[in-house]
Structure 1
Amino acid sequence: MSFPQSGLHKRSAAKYSANNNSSTNDSGAIFKSLKDFDSYAKPLEDFTLKTNTGALVSLISYIVIFVLLLSEFTDWRTLQVNPSLDVDIARKEKMEINMNITFPKIPCFLLSIDVMDVSGEHQNDVDHSMTKARLSPEGAHIETSKGVIGEKHDSDPTVVDPNYCGNCYGGVTPPSGCCNTCEDVRKGYMDRGWSFDRPESIEQCIKEGWTDKIKEQEGEGCNLSGHIEVNKVAGNFHFAPGKSFQQGGMHVHDLATFAKPGAKYDFSHTIHSLSFGPVTSGFANPLDNHSKKATKGQYTYQYFIKVVSTKYEYLNSTVFNTNQIAVTEHERDILMPGAGLPGVFFNFDISPMLVTYKEYKKPFSHFLTDVCAVVGGVFTVGGIIDGLIYTAEKRLKSKIDLGKAS
Structure 2
Amino acid sequence: MVLRQRRKPFQQVVTELDAFPKVEETYVEQTATGASVSIITFILVVLLLHSELTYYYWPGYKFRFSSDADMNSKLKLNVDLTVAMPCDLIGADILDKTNQNAFSFGRLREDPTWFKLEEHQLIHFREMERLNAYLSEEYHQLQDVLWKSGYSRLYGDMPARRLVPDEPHDACRVHGSLTLNKVAGNFHVTAGKVLPIAGAHAHLTSFMEEHEYNFTHRIEKLSFGDSVAGIIQPLEGTEMTTDINLINYQYYIEIVPTVVDTYLGRTVTYQYSVKELARPISHGQGSHGTPGIYFKYDISALKVEVTKDREPFWQFLVKVCAGVGGICATSGLLAILVKWVVNTICCSLGQEQTKKPVSASAVPAS
Q: TM-score range by the shorter chain?
A: 0.5 to 0.7
Measured against aligned partners, the alpha-carbon deviations of 1:3-43 in whole angstroms (never above 9, x if no partner) come to: xxxxxxxx9xxxx99xx9xxxxxxxxxxx9x99xx5x5444
Task: State how 1:184-333 maps to structure 2 within 5 Å.
Answer: 220-243=170-193, 254=205, 257=208, 259-260=210-211, 263=212, 266-277=214-225, 279-287=226-234, 289-297=236-244, 298-315=246-263, 318-322=265-269, 324-333=270-279
Task: State how 1:1-400 maps to structure 2 within 5 Å.
Answer: 40-78=20-58, 83-92=63-72, 94-103=74-83, 105-121=84-100, 129-139=107-117, 220-243=170-193, 254=205, 257=208, 259-260=210-211, 263=212, 266-277=214-225, 279-287=226-234, 289-297=236-244, 298-315=246-263, 318-322=265-269, 324-334=270-280, 336=282, 339-357=288-306, 363-400=312-349
Q: Distance in 2 between matches of 1:250 and 1:225?
A: 21
Q: Distance in 2 between matches of 1:309 and 1:130?
A: 23
Aligned length: 287
- Residue 91 of structure 2: SS of its match in structure 1? strand
Measured against aligned partners, the alpha-carbon deviations of 1:249-307 in whole angstroms (never above 9, x if no partner) come to: 896773763622xx5x5433332222223x13335242363212323234433222222
Are the equivalent residues in 2 in contact too, given 1:102–1:270 (CA < 8 A)? yes
Q: Which residue of 1 aligns with 2:153?
A: none
Q: How far off is 1:122 after superposition?
A: 5.2
**What code does the residue aligned with 1:130 have?**
L
Q: Distance in 2 between matches of 1:388 and 1:139?
A: 74
Are the equivalent residues in 2 in contact too, given 1:73–1:367 (CA < 8 A)? no
TM-score of the superposed pair, with normalisation by structure 1: 0.58
- Residue 314 of structure 2: SS of its match in structure 1? helix
Are the equivalent residues in 2 in contact too, given 1:238–1:346 (CA < 8 A)? yes
Structure 2: stretches of 5+ with no match in the other structure: 6-15, 119-166, 354-366
Q: Distance in 2 between matches of 1:106 and 1:127?
A: 26
Are the equivalent residues in 2 in contact too, given 1:274–1:285 (CA < 8 A)? no
Q: Distance in 1 between matches of 2:209 and 2:351?
A: 102
Q: Which residue of 2 aligns with 1:151?
A: none
Which structure has the bigger radius of gyration?
1
Q: How far off is 1:225 after superposition?
A: 0.8
Measured against aligned partners, the alpha-carbon deviations of 1:167-221 in whole angstroms (never above 9, x if no partner) come to: xxxxxxxxxxxxxxxxxxxxxxxxxxxxxxxxxxxxxxxxxxxxxxxxx85x612
**What code does the residue aligned with 1:342 have?**
P
Are the equivalent residues in 2 in contact too, given 1:110–1:258 (CA < 8 A)? no
- Residue 403 of structure 1: SS of its match in structure 2? helix
Are the equivalent residues in 2 in contact too, given 1:61–1:378 (CA < 8 A)? yes
Q: Distance in 2 between matches of 1:75 and 1:385?
A: 29
Q: How far off is 1:345 after superposition?
A: 1.6
**What code does the residue aligned with 1:73 have?**
L
Over the aligned positions, Cα root-mean-square deviation in angstroms equals 4.0
In 2 relative to 1, CA 267–58 (structure 1 residues): closer, same or farther, beyond 3 Å? farther
Q: Distance in 2 between matches of 1:128 and 1:258?
A: 32
In 2 relative to 1, CA 46–291 (structure 1 residues): closer, same or farther, beyond 3 Å? same
The structure showing larger relative contact order (alpha-carbon pairs under 8 Å, at least 6 residues apart) is 2
In 2 relative to 1, CA 120–241 (structure 1 residues): closer, same or farther, beyond 3 Å? closer
TM-score of the superposed pair, with normalisation by structure 2: 0.63
- Residue 89 of structure 1: SS of its match in structure 2? coil
Q: Which residue of 1 aligns with 2:350?
A: 401
Q: How far off is 1:226 after superposition?
A: 1.3
In 2 relative to 1, CA 47–128 (structure 1 residues): closer, same or farther, beyond 3 Å? closer
**What code does the residue aligned with 1:108 have?**
C
Q: Which residue of 2 aligns with 1:211?
A: none
Q: What is the percent sequence identity of the aligned residues?
A: 26
Q: Distance in 2 between matches of 1:393 and 1:255?
A: 99
Are the equivalent residues in 2 in contact too, given 1:315–1:358 (CA < 8 A)? no
- Residue 290 of structure 2: SS of its match in structure 1? coil
Measured against aligned partners, the alpha-carbon deviations of 1:228-266 in whole angstroms (never above 9, x if no partner) come to: 3443222211122234679xx896773763622xx5x54
Structure 1: stretches of 5+ with no match in the other structure: 1-10, 21-31, 141-215
Measured against aligned partners, the alpha-carbon deviations of 1:109-141 in whole angstroms (never above 9, x if no partner) come to: 2222232333232579x998111121125448x
In 2 relative to 1, CA 233–289 (structure 1 residues): closer, same or farther, beyond 3 Å? closer
